């Protein structure tokens, strides 16, 4: 079985979700660029660091 392929696809999906959340956050442009680069350059480690301490997208209540 191709567990590495499935794991890579899941990591890609999580990184895309993280980048969308970073862009939608209220952080400054410089912070958004740094966080995005961190997630892109170090996909697994960058995602974990973002998950723990990174900026989140603004949540809107309807």
What are the domain boundaries of the chain? 3-53
> What pLDDT is attached to residue 61?
47
Percent of the chain with pLDDT over 90: 63
Q: For residues 51 and 19, is the Cβ–Cβ distance under 8 A?
A: no
Within the chain, which residues score under 70 in pLDDT?
1-2, 57-62
33: phi then psi, degrees, rounded to nearest 5: -65, -45
pTM over cut 0.75: yes
Would you state the structure tokens that stand for residue 38, as one six-digit string? 């961190």
Number of neighbours of residue 40 by Cβ within 10 angstroms:
12
């Amino acid at each position: 079985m191709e567990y590495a392929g499935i794991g890579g696809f899941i990591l890609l999906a999580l990184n895309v979700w993280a980048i969308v959340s970073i862009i939608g956050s209220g952080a400054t442009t410089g912070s958004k660029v740094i966080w995005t680069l961190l997630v892109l350059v170090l996909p697994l480690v960058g995602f974990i660091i973002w998950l723990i301490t990174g900026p989140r997208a603004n949540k809107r209540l309807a």
